[in-house]
C-alpha cells in the first residue's frame, strides 16, 4: 500500500460521500477491478462513508482497503434494522475480503415428521421446508440427527421407508424384525394405534416427556391387566429408555424452552464461537465456528456480526439467545431478528445458574477446539515449509490446489480440483469442469483442458502457490506447457504418481524439473501429501458419480411428455428410485402428488414400450 494510493482513495471517498443521501442503508466499497471489497450498513449513509476519509481514525488494514476504493454503491433501506439484515445477506452472497465472514456456510439438519401421508413418516431433512410437515431442530450435525433418530425409533416405532415401499410391500422389512417399525405396510397395526405412537413422538419432541411417560404407563398397565405380559414388557422397556434419556439430559437445562447459546473466545487474533442448540428443553448439540477476520476486531463487534450472518442463513430463530459477552448494537440486532422471525427475540447475558453452566461449558469447548486448530495450523505450516524445501520450490506455500480427472468407460468425463491451506481443506472453493473438448480416453488432454480453463478464467480471483497433479511425468509436462502458454510464472507445480507397484506406500513424487523426490512412507509429510491426493480423488469420483446418476435419471424420464422438475422430484420421492417408477402400475402412479391420469398413462406406456 502506497501513500499515494491512500490519498487517491480518500479523495474518492470525499467526492462520493458528498453525493450520498442521509438515509439508512447499505454501502458497498468497490475496487477499480469491480471487486466488492467491503459491505457495511449505516444509519446515515453520508456520515458513515465520510468517516473513512479521516486517515487518523483508520488502522492499517482499513487504510489498505481505502487505498483500493474506486467507487461506492449504496442501497437505501426502511431503517437501520432492515439495513442490518441486508448487510448480512450481501456479505453471505459476495464474501468481501475486508468483512468478517462466517466461513461455515452450511445449513443445519432437522428431524421431519411427514404428516401429508396417511401413515406418518420420520426422516432427517436439510434444505427448504415443505408446508404441512413438522420440523424439529436444528441439530448441530447429521451425527446428532442420526443418533436421535436411532433412539426415537426404539421407543416410537414409526416408518422411515418411502411412500412407494409402504404401498407395495408384501411382507414386513427388517425394521419390523428389530422392533423399530410397526409394519403399517402390511397392516400389522391399525391407523388408530399408529397415530397414538405418532402423537407420543410429537409430544416428546415438544418437550412433554411427562405426558408421554403417563401415556406409556397407562398402556403398560392396561396390557398387563389383560394378561398381555409380553406386550406390556415392551412398554416397560420404552418407559425405562425415556427415563434414561431424561436423566442424561442436564436436569437444570430442562427449564429452557428453546434457546441458542453463543460462546466466543480468542487466542491473539484468532476466534472460535461455540453455538449450543436447545429446543423444547433438549440439547440438540453444539458446533464450533472459526470466523474469518481480516482486520483487528474485538469480541463484542465480532459476535454481533457473526449472529447477524448466522441467522441470515438459518431461519429457525429461537425467542431467547444467550451470549457469553455483551455485544455492540444489541438492540438493533434484536430488532432485525424480530423482523426476520416475525416474533419477539431477546438477546441477553446468562444470569441463572443453569444458563451460566451452559455458557461455561461452551467457552471451555471453544477454547480447546481453538487451541487444537492453532496446533493443526502449525503442523500444516511446517508441512508446507517442508514441501518448499524438499521439492526445491521458489516461493512460500500457503495455498495448494490438487487436480484429478474421472470418467466411466470414457463417458461423462469430468476434471476437478480441491483447495487446501493452513486451515485445512477449503471445500467452498472446490470446483469441477465438465470435459467439453478433450477425448474422455485422453488423460493428458483432459488435464490440459481443465488447467487451461481454470487459469484462463477471470472469475477466479487468485492463483494458488502450488499445483499438484495426480499422475506422473506426463501430467507434469502438460501442466508446465499450459502455464508456459498462459505465461503463468508465480505458481509452482509438482506431481504424484502411483509408481510401478500400484498400491499404497509406493507413490513417486516429482518436482517441477521432473526429478524424483523421495519421501519415506514413515514420514508425516508423506501421509500429508497422500491425504491431499486422496481428497482430490474422492472429490473427483463423487462428482463424477453424481453427474452419472443425474444423467441416467435425466435421460430416462425427461423424454416423457408433461414431466417437469416438480413432477420428477415427486416421482423419485414417492417411489425411491427409477426402477420403482419403471415397475409402477397406473393406479400407483396416480397416488403421486401432481400426477393426473393422462400423465400416469404417459409414464406407464413409456416404460412398457422401452
- Whether residue 261 is found in the same domain as residue 249: no
Backbone angles phi, psi at 25, to 5 degrees: 170, -165
- Find, among 344, 337, 258, 350, the residue nearest to 304 by Cα: 337
Whether the Cβ atoms of residue 13 and residue 50 lie closer than 8 Å to each other = yes
pLDDT in tens, 219-234: 777 767 777 667 777 7
| Structural domain contains residue 404 | yes
User: What does the alpha-carbon distance between residue 434 and residue 478 come to, in Å, rounded to a whole number?
Assistant: 19
Instruction: State yes or no: pLDDT of 209 exceeds 80.
Output: no
C-alpha cell at 84: 442490518
| Structural domain contains residue 528 | yes
pLDDT in tens, 557-571: 777 877 887 888 788
pLDDT confidence of residue 601: 87
Give how many domains the chain has, as a whole number: 5
C-alpha cell at 66: 481505502
- Find, among 295, 299, 312, 305, the residue nearest to 329 by Cα: 305
C-alpha cell at 377: 495450523
Cα-Cα end-to-end distance for the chain: 67
CATH number at residue 61: 3.40.1440.10
pLDDT tier, 254 (very low <50, low <70, confident <90, very high otherwise): very low
Q: Of the residues 38, 69, 94, which one is the last residue of a structural domain?
A: 94
pLDDT tier, 410 (very low <50, low <70, confident <90, very high otherwise): low
| Structural domain contains residue 381 | no
What single-letter DSSP state applies at residue 459? T
| Structural domain contains residue 103 | no
Whether the Cβ atoms of residue 153 and residue 113 lie closer than 8 Å to each other = no
- Whether residue 568 is found in the same domain as residue 540: no
| Structural domain contains residue 327 | yes
Averaged pLDDT of the chain: 85
What's the chain's Rg over C-alpha atoms?
29
> Mapping DSSP to helix (H, G, I), strand (E, B) and coil, where does residue 499 land?
coil
Number of other residues whose CB lies within 10 A of the CB of residue 163: 24
pLDDT confidence of residue 546: 76
Q: Which residue has the higher pLDDT, 384 or 298?
A: 384
- Find, among 50, 25, 53, 51, the residue nearest to 39 by Cα: 25
Whether the Cβ atoms of residue 261 and residue 322 lie closer than 8 Å to each other = yes
Q: Give the global pTM.
A: 0.69
Average pLDDT of 487-508? 81
pLDDT confidence of residue 262: 96
Alpha-helix residue ranges (DSSP H) falling in 264-329: 299-313
Q: What is the share, in percent, of the chain residues with pLDDT greater than 70?
A: 90
What single-letter DSSP state applies at residue 73? E
Beta-carbon contacts of residue 96 (< 8 Å; ≥ 6 apart):
28, 29, 36, 37, 38, 39
pLDDT in tens, 103-125: 666 678 888 998 888 899 999 88
- Whether residue 226 is found in the same domain as residue 131: yes
CA 213 to chain centre: 36
Average pLDDT of 178-188? 89
pLDDT confidence of residue 536: 92
| Structural domain contains residue 229 | yes
- Whether residue 434 is found in the same domain as residue 322: no
Alpha-helix residue ranges (DSSP H) falling in 206-259: 209-225, 229-248
Instruction: State yes or no: pLDDT of 95 exceeds 70.
Output: yes
- Whether residue 247 is found in the same domain as residue 264: no
- Whether residue 459 is found in the same domain as residue 582: no
C-alpha cell at 137: 431442530
- Whether residue 410 is found in the same domain as residue 545: yes
- Whether residue 420 is found in the same domain as residue 332: no
Instruction: State yes or no: pLDDT of 252 exceeds 50.
Output: no
CATH number at residue 598: 1.10.150.20
- Whether residue 422 is found in the same domain as residue 542: yes
- Whether residue 131 is found in the same domain as residue 228: yes
pLDDT in tens, 574-592: 877 777 888 888 888 888 8
- Whether residue 335 is found in the same domain as residue 457: no
pLDDT in tens, 1-51: 566 678 888 888 888 888 889 999 999 999 988 889 999 999 999 999 999
| Structural domain contains residue 392 | no
Look at phi and psi of residue 179 and say left if phi exceeds 0, alpha if psi is from -120 to 50, else beta: left
Domain span holding position 572: 558-609
Which residue(s) pair with 261 in the sheet? 276, 322
CATH number at residue 544: 3.30.420.340
| Structural domain contains residue 391 | no
User: What does the alpha-carbon distance between residue 305 and residue 102 come to, in Å, rounded to a whole number?
Assistant: 9
Average pLDDT of 600-609? 84
- Whether residue 406 is found in the same domain as residue 530: yes
Which residue(s) pair with 421 in the sheet? 424
- Find, among 326, 323, 331, the residue nearest to 298 by Cα: 326
Cα separation values, 333 from 44, 80, 85, Å: 17, 10, 9
Amino acid at each position: 500500500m502506497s501513500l499515494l494510493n491512500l490519498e487517491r482513495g480518500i479523495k474518492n471517498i470525499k467526492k462520493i460521500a458528498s453525493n450520498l443521501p442521509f438515509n439508512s442503508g447499505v454501502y458497498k466499497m468497490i475496487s477499480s477491478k469491480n471487486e466488492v471489497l467491503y459491505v457495511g450498513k449505516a444509519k446515515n449513509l453520508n456520515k458513515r462513508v465520510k468517516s473513512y476519509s479521516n486517515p487518523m481514525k483508520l488502522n492499517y488494514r482499513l487504510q489498505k482497503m481505502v487505498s483500493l476504493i474506486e467507487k461506492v454503491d449504496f442501497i437505501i433501506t426502511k431503517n437501520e434494522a432492515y439495513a442490518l439484515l441486508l448487510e448480512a445477506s450481501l456479505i453471505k452472497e459476495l464474501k468481501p475480503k475486508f468483512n468478517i465472514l462466517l466461513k461455515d456456510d452450511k445449513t443445519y439438519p432437522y428431524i421431519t415428521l411427514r404428516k401429508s401421508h396417511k401413515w406418518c413418516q420420520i426422516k432427517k431433512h436439510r434444505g427448504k421446508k415443505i408446508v404441512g410437515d413438522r420440523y424439529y431442530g436444528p441439530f448441530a450435525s447429521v451425527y446428532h440427527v442420526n443418533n436421535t433418530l436411532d433412539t426415537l425409533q426404539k421407543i416410537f416405532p414409526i416408518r422411515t421407508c418411502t411412500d412407494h415401499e409402504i404401498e407395495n410391500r408384501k411382507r414386513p422389512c427388517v425394521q419390523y424384525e428389530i422392533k423399530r417399525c410397526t409394519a403399517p405396510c402390511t397392516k400389522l397395526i391399525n391407523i388408530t394405534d399408529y397415530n397414538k405412537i405418532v402423537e407420543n413422538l410429537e409430544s416428546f419432541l415438544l418437550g412433554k416427556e411427562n405426558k408421554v411417560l403417563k401415556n406409556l404407563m397407562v398402556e403398560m398397565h392396561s396390557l398387563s391387566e389383560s394378561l398381555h405380559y409380553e406386550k406390556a414388557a415392551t412398554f416397560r422397556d420404552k418407559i425405562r429408555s425415556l427415563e434414561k434419556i431424561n436423566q442424561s439430559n442436564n436436569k437444570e437445562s430442562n427449564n429452557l424452552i428453546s434457546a441458542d447459546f453463543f460462546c466466543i473466545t480468542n487466542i491473539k487474533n484468532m476466534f472460535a464461537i461455540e453455538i449450543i442448540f436447545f429446543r423444547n428443553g433438549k440439547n440438540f448439540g453444539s458446533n464450533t465456528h472459526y470466523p474469518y477476520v481480516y482486520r483487528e476486531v474485538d469480541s463484542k463487534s465480532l459476535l454481533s456480526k457473526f449472529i447477524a450472518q448466522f441467522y441470515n442463513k438459518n431461519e429457525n430463530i429461537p425467542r431467547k439467545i444467550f451470549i457469553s459477552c455483551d455485544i455492540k448494537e444489541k438492540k438493533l440486532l434484536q430488532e432485525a431478528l424480530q423482523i426476520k422471525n416475525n416474533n419477539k427475540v431477546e438477546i441477553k447475558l446468562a444470569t441463572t445458574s443453569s444458563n451460566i453452566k451452559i455458557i461455561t461449558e461452551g467457552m471451555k469447548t471453544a477454547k480447546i477446539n481453538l487451541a487444537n486448530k492453532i496446533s493443526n495450523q502449525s503442523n500444516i505450516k511446517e508441512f508446507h515449509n517442508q514441501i518448499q524445501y524438499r521439492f526445491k520450490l521458489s516461493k512460500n506455500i500457503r495455498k495448494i490446489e490438487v487436480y484429478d480427472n474421472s470418467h466411466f468407460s470414457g463417458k461423462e468425463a469430468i476434471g476437478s480440483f480441491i483447495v487446501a491451506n493452513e486451515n485445512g481443506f477449503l471445500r467452498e472453493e472446490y470446483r469441477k469442469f465438465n470435459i467439453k473438448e478433450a477425448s474422455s480416453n485422453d488423460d493428458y488432454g483432459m488435464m490440459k483442458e481443465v488447467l487451461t480453463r481454470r487459469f484462463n478464467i477471470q472469475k477466479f480471483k487468485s492463483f494458488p502457490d502450488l499445483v499438484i497433479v495426480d499422475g506422473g511425468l506426463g501430467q507434469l509436462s502438460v501442466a508446465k506447457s499450459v502455464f508456459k502458454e498462459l505465461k503463468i510464472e508465480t505458481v509452482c507445480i509438482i506431481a504424484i504418481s502411483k509408481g510401478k507397484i500400484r498400491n499404497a506406500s509406493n507413490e513417486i513424487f516429482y518436482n517441477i524439473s521432473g526429478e524424483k523426490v523421495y519421501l519415506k512412507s514413515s514420514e508425516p509429510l508423506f501421509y500429508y501429501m497422500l491425504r491431499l491426493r486422496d481428497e482430490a480423488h474422492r472429490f473427483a469420483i463423487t462428482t463424477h458419480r453424481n453427474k452419472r446418476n443425474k444423467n441416467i435419471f435425466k435421460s430416462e424420464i425427461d423424454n416423457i411428455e408433461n414431466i417437469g422438475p416438480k413432477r420428477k422430484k415427486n416421482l423419485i420421492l414417492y417411489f425411491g428410485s427409477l426402477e420403482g417408477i419403471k415397475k409402477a402400475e397406473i393406479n400407483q402412479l396416480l397416488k403421486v402428488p401432481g400426477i393426473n391420469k393422462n400423465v400416469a398413462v404417459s409414464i406407464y406406456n413409456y416404460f412398457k414400450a422401452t
